[in-house]
């Protein structure tokens, strides 16, 4: 088996508390300075709350649903998220969506039949996107080729 996902711990568990801690630090220091000058300092607190809400929305959109590990096996894909492990055949994967317009790569698999982890499986792939920004990731290309090969084999069986 070959692991094709990178570890999402940094995006799921390290960055969010650091960002919130930094925003709280800025809010408290700014409101202290405002209070020392005889002003209310409410603007810093509302600004920190607003920026925390934006950071939380971005985290929910891009990082909260990432699975821990994704492995390629001979004829299936093995997905691990915390203590759960799911094996699904390549023929069960309908679509592979590779987010290539950002510096941080994200792949979402749409499954024909939902598994224990849901119908959409998102992970951060290993490796870079190549020399040119926005290029294709080799790991994702291998996954797409294996899915296509499984579909062709399934089609041959039906004919």
pLDDT in tens for each of the 159 residues of the chain? 889 888 878 778 888 889 889 988 988 888 888 888 888 878 888 888 898 899 889 888 888 889 999 999 888 999 999 889 999 999 999 999 887 656 677 899 999 999 999 999 999 888 765 445 556 678 888 899 999 998 898 888 887
Residues 84 and 142 placed together within one structural domain of the fold: yes
Q: What is the pLDDT of residue 42?
A: 84
Q: What is the pLDDT of residue 101?
A: 59
Residues 49 and 78 placed together within one structural domain of the fold: no
Q: What is the pLDDT of residue 131?
A: 46
How far is CA 145 from each of CA 27, 75, 124, 140, 142, rounded to the nearest angstrom?
50, 12, 18, 9, 5
Q: What is the pLDDT of residue 84?
A: 92
DSSP string, the chain: -EE-B--THIIIIIHHHHHHHHHHHHHHHHHHHHHHTT---HHHHHHHHHHHHHHHHHHHHHTTTB-SEEEE-SSEEEEEETTEEEEEEGGGEEEEEEE-SSSS-EEEEEEEEEETTEEEEEEPBSS---SSTTPPPHHHHHHHHHHHHHHHHHHHHH-
Is residue 39, in this structure, part of any structural domain at all? yes
Asked if residues 44 and 26 have their Cβ atoms less than 8 Å apart, the reply is: yes
Q: What is the pLDDT of residue 134?
A: 56
Q: What is the pLDDT of residue 135?
A: 63
Is residue 121, in this structure, part of any structural domain at all? yes
Q: What is the pLDDT of residue 63?
A: 82
| Terminal Cα distance for the chain, rounded | 30
Residues 137 and 73 placed together within one structural domain of the fold: yes
Is residue 2, in this structure, part of any structural domain at all? no
Tally the domains of the chain: 2
Q: What is the pLDDT of residue 159?
A: 73
Is residue 1, in this structure, part of any structural domain at all? no
Nearest-angstrom CA–CA distance, 97 and 108: 5
The range of the structural domain enclosing residue 146 comes to 69-158
Residues 41 and 74 placed together within one structural domain of the fold: no
The values of phi and psi at residue 114, to 5°, are -60, 145
Predicted structure pTM score: 0.77
């Amino acid at each position: 088996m070959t692991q094709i996902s990178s570890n999402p711990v940094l995006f799921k568990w390290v960055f969010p508390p650091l960002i919130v801690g930094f925003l709280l630090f800025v809010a408290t220091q700014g409101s202290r300075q405002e209070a020392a000058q005889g002003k209310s300092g409410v603007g810093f607190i509302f600004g920190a709350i607003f920026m925390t809400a934006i950071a939380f929305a971005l985290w929910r959109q891009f990082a909260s649903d990432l699975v821990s590990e994704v492995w390629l096996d001979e004829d299936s894909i093995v997905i691990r998220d915390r203590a759960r492990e799911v094996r699904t055949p390549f023929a069960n994967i309908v679509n592979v969506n590779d987010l290539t317009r950002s510096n941080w790569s994200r792949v979402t698999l749409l499954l024909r039949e939902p598994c224990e982890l849901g119908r959409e499986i998102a992970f951060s792939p290993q490796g870079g996107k190549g020399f040119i920004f926005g290029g294709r990731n080799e790991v994702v290309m291998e996954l797409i080729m294996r899915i296509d090969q499984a579909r062709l084999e399934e089609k041959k069986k039906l004919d």
